[in-house]
Structure 1
């Protein structure tokens, strides 16, 4: 029976691939696609590079790709069907950001970069109408480019690195119920207590004020200055998106009630491991007690992080028998002297500026991944079945780790609770000889994440081709919810009307009763007077 089911799954996959190939035949040859992601942080570049590679290599004769990016990778040298536009690099973009204390709202800084882009005649020429069959735009802090999307009159797809926020989903009719859809910055699950639902509602309502009244006007002012104030607001332009494609999956984040125009391709960047450099492979393979990968993403600067945190990490690592691969993000000799001196005391550690993260996680001797809990890192760990010990530092990281901890495939520590003791205890809980439950749960979690009828690549290609075939998604795929605001969607307007109607009816009844009572009293009084007179 098991053999039969295996053959059945293989046959089903072959049929699906044939079906995708047959559908692709109807796509116009040399479809011109524009990928817009010039203000990306490094993790977003990883995703855009993944989808660019899929488009450039799967059917190179069918797609002509233009990639507007800050990525330093030269795709136009790798693929003949790719041309690139880069006004500044991701390094220049990230290094120019002021500190959080001096600039609490980073979107203001992005808007300044966007003005620089519009001041470039080559970029303006690139964004002229009639050049492309499809546009794929980054759905995170790229709204200043939406004025161009409106003027280009080309079908566009919004691509997000994780579950998109409500200001992205709601214009397309994908309203997320407050009761089961935790806000990105929380650590709530989809089964919230009353107190958590109250907090979630408060944060949601705060976002409803902040985004349309503070954040979006900053972006809209950029394209108003460029093209005029006659252009629609971002939310109205977003309503015309053909699809939202999200790097999310129900095994990593809570499932949500979404429409057919919301497509999940979580883990599209995940892949099998490749051969490691000899020195790195030897360092991992020869470790008798296994290896731990320590990587806190591209946004974390160890020289700026709280000293008590780095001291606790160094002390915990010094007590371990395992070897450690520590991604520093920069050369060790460029760190401040006091921190470099502490790091140099560690004898079981290989310090690297950057790491081939997936290739390391794919190695069988890697026992644990210590991370910040970023979405891409979490997906890669689950894909390769490596347990996670995370210290979320902000953004969506707490939410990412909530599903992991609920499933039992990893541990999350609060930043304020990190000490030498809490770290060593958590590490021992994951990789201790007698503690195999977390490792086993991660293997099960990995199976759930990988178990799909179609790979993320196939799903992505199908829907890109779908939009190209039909020149958008038309009215059949679009819900009428796109034409409703949040009050109409949740029937607050009709509910208010019914409450008002009931109030009016009750008031009318009350007035009628009073009138009848007054009339009856008068009638009775008149009757009594007549009786007395007679």
Structure 2
């Protein structure tokens, strides 16, 4: 029996080991929420038996076999100290300023990251990998690591419709019903919204080509001087793009075969709660409310007048409130429990949680839909406004803008969500849609990663649209040529009509010139 078991283990090791891929994950942004998506991707691949190396500022807390970190957390820590900004101030940025800020901020970290000791050690080793998975977020230079380490490139984004993905893949995003993320519109736009959506899309593309690409190209040439491909060819080389989106949390829109939706990749089975949280929620006979503004925004930074609004409203509730609050809060009521960190995903799975007060980040709204919990959204910046507007449009959420926070509005929104069953029923219905897929997000990641490797980069999935300029991709040049042709045709038609009129008018009896005899007679 022991011999059989040993042989079986050896066979399993041989089969898994022989099919194991060496995968490099490159997750350079300092945002924990962005990293969480990348972590979900590599965790799925690791569970499938592949060897993982991750370059990020978030090393593992508990090291795992076949999982190696290339840690540059000091770069993140230094940047956070220098940044010194209240995240709520991001809500004051216009859409134009947001794009400009992203180009400047994310690019500024490329030098510091690629020159960091642990990263340089990996680069100089020229270790070969099978697949390189890179986050795409205004930091395309990192895609060059795929060629540097001689492997297939796969990209991923932390949210859905972004113009960059269209540039990479040749995908088309009609501005008539695909809203730009930072504008916060839904897919059902008014004429004015479609106007601004189109205008902003053009601005983003012009800025991307006029500012983003030249700057990225300069970093590319600086750090990868021996690269075989020119920058733009490298930029268009990903075999697959994983997108953290799903129709249940966003809206239906066109995607090419190489763009794969993996919304919910970070959601894992709920774990048991710590005893104090379990007891607190179990005792919430009238229901409980979870309040969290995510990993970047912090409730302690709420202005005093807005903080007092929540304290006063919570004091009037029969429900209990779990609040992610990063410091002591001595004047809270007895039904409120605070903590600087909360296992948000696991709390939402508790049967007594009836409402989730959230900033509307993609991870938070996804977890709420997964568990079928209605939301009260307080969006601040980025994709949050769009996520919350989608929640309102779909019928499982209510929004209160940051500037509009008052006791009356918060109280009214909570009462509506708690006592009107339509929000709960809609959330549960969307939860079923979210989970009803041919493959889980984890299975999709594993399948398509292995598919790209099996087919040596899956060139057959890449669209010819990649080779077209933006104005060609939307056939603007064709429409413009048609417009000129129409104008030319009209001008020719007018000229012919005028010419014919002159001919016929000149031959008219009433317009005959006087004869010589008639002239003499008059004289």
Q: CA deviation at 1:66?
A: 1.0
Query: Does 2:272 correspond to 1:275?
Result: yes
Matched pairs, number: 490
Partners of 2:290 and 2:346 in 1: how far apart? 11
CA–CA distance in 2 between the matches of 1:82 and 1:229?
29
Whether 1:220 and 2:217 are equivalent positions in the alignment is yes
Give the TM-score of the pair, scaled to structure 2: 0.85
Match of 1:494 among 478, 481, 496: 478
Partner of 1:398: 385
| Paired residue secondary structure (2:189) | coil
- Is 1:239 the counterpart of 2:223? The answer is no
Cα 1:498–1:111 shift into 2, 3 Å: closer
Structure 2 match to 1:97: 83
1:457 CA drift (Å): 1.1
Q: Confirm or deny that 1:325 pairs with 2:325.
A: no
Residues 329-478 of structure 1 mapped to structure 2, 5 A cutoff? 330=326, 332-333=327-328, 340=329, 343-432=330-419, 435-474=420-459, 476-478=460-462
**Does structure 1 conserve the Cα–Cα contact (< 8 Å) formed by 2:27 and 2:56?**
yes
1:511-522 to 2 correspondence within 5 Å?
Answer: none
SS, match of residue 163 in structure 1: coil
Instruction: Report the equivalent of 2:5.
Output: none
* Conservation of the 8 A alpha-carbon contact between 1:32 and 1:65: yes
Q: Deviations over 1:75-126 (max 9, x none)?
A: 6x22x11111011255554444243689972543433322122223542442
Does the residue aligned with 2:299 lie in a helix, a strand or coil?
A: coil
Instruction: Note if contact 2:143-2:153 (Cα within 8 Å) is conserved in structure 1.
Output: no
Residues 246 and 264 in structure 1, CA contact (< 8 A), matched pair in contact too: yes
Shift in Å at residue 154 of structure 1?
A: 2.9
CA shift in 2, pair 1:125/1:504, >3 Å: farther
Say if 1:26 and 1:173 are closer, same or farther in 2 by CA, change over 3 A: farther
Which one of 37, 49, 52 corresponds to residue 42 of structure 2?
Answer: 52
Over 3 Å counting, the alpha-carbon distance change for 1:193 and 1:109 in structure 2 is: closer
> Post-superposition shift, 1:371?
0.6
Q: CA deviation at 1:394?
A: 1.1
- Post-superposition Cα deviations, 1:476-532, rounded to whole Å, max 9, x if no partner, equal 2112111112211222212222333344455455556667778899999xxx99x97
Q: Which whole-Å CA distance do the structure 1 matches of 2:81 and 2:411 have between them?
A: 34
Residues of 2 paired with 1:50 and 1:167: CA distance? 22
Change (3 A) 1:323 1:91: farther
CA contact (8 A) 1:135 1:156 kept: yes
Structure 2 gap segments, 5+ residues each: 1-14, 518-523
CA contact (8 A) 1:36 1:136 kept: yes
Partner of residue 142 from structure 1, selected from 139, 143, 156: 139
1:25-64 alignment to 2 at 5 Å?
29-59=19-49, 63-64=50-51
State whether structure 2 residue 122 is matched by structure 1 residue 126: yes
Q: Distance in 2 between matches of 1:388 and 1:241?
A: 36
Deviations 1:243-262 (A, max 9, x none): 11101001110111111111
Measure the CA separation in 2 of the matches of 1:296 and 1:532: 99
Structure 2 Cα separation of the partners of residues 438 and 501 of structure 1: 53
- Residue 6 of structure 1 is matched in structure 2 by none
1:144 is displaced (CA, Å) by 3.2
Assess if the C-alpha contact under 8 Å between 1:28 and 1:469 holds in 2.
Answer: no
Q: 1:117 aligns with which of 110, 113, 119?
A: 113
Report if aligned partners of 2:148, 2:227 keep a CA contact under 8 Å in 1: no
Tell me, in whole angstroms, the C-alpha distance in 2 between the residues paired with 1:120 and 1:467. Answer: 30
Query: Equivalent of 1:184, from 181, 189, 192?
Result: 181
Question: How is 1:518-529 mapped onto 2 (pairs within 5 angstroms)?
Answer: none
Q: CA deviation at 1:197?
A: 0.8
Conserved? CA contact 1:147–1:231, under 8 Å: no
